[in-house]
Amino acid sequence: MESLVAANNLIPPYTIYVGQQLSVPPGVDVVRVRPGDTVYKIAQTFGVPQSVIIEANGLLPPYILHVDQLLKVPPGIPYYVVRPGDTLIQIARRFNVTTNGVCNLELIRMLNQLPSTIILPGMQLLIPYAPPGGQGLIAYTANVNGEYDIWLYNLDDGEDVQLTTALGESFSIPFWSPDSNMIAFVGKNQILYVLQLSDRTIIRIDQFSEGLGVYLNWSPDSQKLVYAKQNDITLYHINTHQVQKINQAGATDVQWFPSGTQLLFQASDASEISQLYRIQSNGTNKQQITQNSGGRYNDVRLSPDGTHILYTSPGASISIIYILEISTGSVFEVKGGPLAKNYFPLWSPDSSTIAYSATAFEDVGYFSQIRTTGRRGENDVTKAISNCFATPVTWSPDGREIAYLSDCDNGMASEIWMLDLFHPVPIRLLERTLVTSLQWSPIPVTPTKETYTSEVYHVQFQYPSHWERLTDERYEGPDGFFQISAISGDEPLSEICYNEAFHQLLPYGSEPRVSHTQIQQQEACFIFPSEDQPPEMRGQAALIVRYPEPIEIEGTTYNFFILWVDQDHLNEISSTLIFL
């Protein structure tokens, strides 16, 4: 219910009315056929046409169903019907079409090919997923056009960038440096690569006999990588390329304590039983942490604050999460999912919570619960559902969101989803052919764009986030500026544009160029300066657009909107312009 309330932004006492359309969060979409079921009966139960069930399941006439058969039930009405009094901004807010907390009207307008933001009762609007906003970057491994590579998704604007070319493998996992400037991964030919995000350079560090299962960990200062290879713990300094080795037979799961002077690792004791140890990064003062008498630990992860260790045991068919409190030696068991198959546990940045994937509903085609629990196994709850056997999870830098994989209809995931724990609406971030792993950057990335909204001039657009406000109508930065106003003339647009371009003060130089175009289906023109434009104008260009409907400011009617902007940012800003 919590997710349903959030998906529709309902407020207490959560009253709903007959005929109201609710946004239903994605989850389990498979049903088991029971005695007496027919396609018609199931369609009636879920309020969807029979045809969509028939098509989704490839059923053939006479559409006979069998008891225990599994049927996929697609969503019903895929659009929202506009009601009297609705506005586009209300719909965007209600259905969570927001980016950085701002209603993303342009996404709805573009998806539905609306000429403006004006809507009418009875319109059928598709509701898009919106990039959630500037909370960092998600690096992920995907197969596109037959090759695995590392990709980068920007939550601020939805931009999706390929970082490598034919260097990844299905087992490649992107490991971020703590300063979010580098990504390490094991890829093609089991080679360990490090990618510098600033200039996209890639260096080769090492090579393994097997790439699957290699765990990499960065030092707190982002200077060193540590990993286990053969019978050594290897510490590699990124800048100096110096290599230090600590001889330790069978070591695995090597990672740094937050002090940057000690390491955690797993290895066998004298009785060949796996234990957890800590050791100084110079190879001295080795200390045993656990008194294990069972099998090898899996998914060993030290909490960011260095006080707790989580691990799963003993294997794939049964996988229970345990949490060790280092100072007391106390071990806490996580309740976990219904099948005792709990995978990919990961600490939140503040070390208070663990997110993980728990396999459930195995008999209806495999689904996973995305769950969270406290560091003593308390408050173990389901937050979302993925249709994968198991999915890795990753935390946002502020510990508020969790991203995970879904859409495993063919055994492999093809989508990345995100969930805000304080507003639990599952949001699909992207879709690819195959996605195998993902990791969120440890440090939030400052949004590159801000949204400017003027209720006076009835406009909204995006501009570089580092520009500063001078007045309500003018913003400036070292690399450009914008200023807005309106024109009240009744002349044709061509005359308005000519008069502005060839103003007697020659603000655009002696030979400006006027180019006619359309913005949001409205007639418009660009004005580009000539080479002899005065330097103090800072490359000023202009955009003039006819308002969809004339606006009134302090008793005066205006028919045209004008945007002055430096020439380098003219196209960038004008492409985001919408009328409110």
Question: What would the mean pLDDT of 371-376 be, rounded to a whole number?
Answer: 96
Amino acid at residue number 169: E
Give kind and range of the element (H or E) at residue 152: strand 147-154
In the chain, % of residues over pLDDT 70: 97
Burial 415-454 (b: 16+ CB within 10 A, else e): bbbbbbbeebbbbebbebeebbbbbbbbbbeebebebbee
CA distance 359 to 370: 9
Tell me whether the omega of the peptide bond preceding residue 535 falls within 30 degrees of 0, making it cis: no
Give kind and range of the element (H or E) at residue 151: strand 147-154
Domains 24-78 and 85-129 share a fold: yes
pLDDT in tens, 407-457: 887 778 999 999 999 988 888 999 998 999 999 999 886 556 788 999 999
For residue 204, pLDDT beyond 60: yes
* pTM as predicted: 0.74
Q: Determine what percent of the chain falls in helix, strand and coil, rounding each to the nearest 5.
A: 10, 45, 45
DSSP state of 135: S
For residue 366, pLDDT beyond 80: no
Angle between helices 39-46 and 50-57 (to 10 degrees): 120
For residue 535, pLDDT beyond 70: yes
Rg for the chain (alpha carbons), in Å?
29
- Specify the residue for token string 């998906």: 7
Task: Answer yes or no: are the C-beta atoms of 564 and 542 closer than 8 Å.
Answer: yes
State residue 334's pLDDT score. 97
Question: What would the mean pLDDT of 319-348 be, rounded to a whole number?
Answer: 96
Question: What would the mean pLDDT of 308-321 be, rounded to a whole number?
Answer: 88
Q: What spatial distance separates the first Cα and last Cα of the chain, rounded to whole Å? A: 33
DSSP state of 26: P
CA distance 458 to 32: 52
Q: What dihedral do alpha carbons 41, 47, 53, 56 form, nearest 10°?
A: -160
Question: What would the mean pLDDT of 395-405 be, rounded to a whole number?
Answer: 95
State residue 360's pLDDT score. 85
pLDDT in tens, 1-45: 888 888 888 889 999 999 888 887 766 678 889 999 999 999 888
Strands 191-196 and 480-487: unpaired
For residue 363, pLDDT beyond 70: no
Could you tell me which residue, 501 or 79, shows the higher pLDDT? 501
Question: What would the mean pLDDT of 91-116 be, rounded to a whole number?
Answer: 86
Task: Please give the backbone phi and psi of residue 177, each rounded to the nearest 5 degrees, phi first.
Answer: -75, 150
State residue 73's pLDDT score. 85
CA distance 402 to 380: 15
What average pLDDT does the chain have? 91
* Residues forming a β-bridge with 267: 275
> What ranges do the domains of the chain cover?
24-78, 85-129, 137-214+297-440, 215-296, 449-579
Task: Answer yes or no: are the C-beta atoms of 207 and 191 closer than 8 Å.
Answer: yes
Give the count of beta carbons closer than 10 Å to the beta carbon of residue 408. 21
CA distance 420 to 403: 9
In the chain, % of residues over pLDDT 90: 66
85-129 has which fold? Membrane-bound Lytic Murein Transglycosylase D; Chain A (3.10.350)
Q: Return the sign of the alpha-carbon dihedral for residues 51, 425, 449, 472.
A: positive
For residue 490, pLDDT beyond 60: yes
State residue 448's pLDDT score. 63
* Residue in 65, 21, 8 with CA at minimum distance from that of residue 47: 21
449-579 has which fold? Protein Transport Mog1p; Chain A (3.40.1000)
- In DSSP notation, 319-364 reads EEEEEEETTT--EEE----TTSBEEEEEE-TTSSEEEEEEEE-GGG
Q: What CATH class does 24-78 carry? A: alpha beta
CA distance 292 to 537: 73
Task: Give the max Cα distance, the chain.
Answer: 93
State residue 27's pLDDT score. 64
Give the count of beta carbons closer than 10 Å to the beta carbon of residue 277. 17
137-214+297-440 has which fold? Neuraminidase (2.120.10)
State residue 411's pLDDT score. 77
Task: Answer yes or no: are the C-beta atoms of 170 and 179 closer than 8 Å.
Answer: no
CA distance 386 to 343: 13
CA distance 356 to 342: 7
pLDDT in tens, 134-183: 678 999 999 988 999 999 998 887 888 899 999 999 999 999 999 999 99
Task: Please give the backbone phi and psi of residue 261, each rounded to the nearest 5 degrees, phi first.
Answer: -120, -10
Task: Answer yes or no: are the C-beta atoms of 298 and 321 closer than 8 Å.
Answer: no
DSSP state of 387: S
State residue 28's pLDDT score. 65
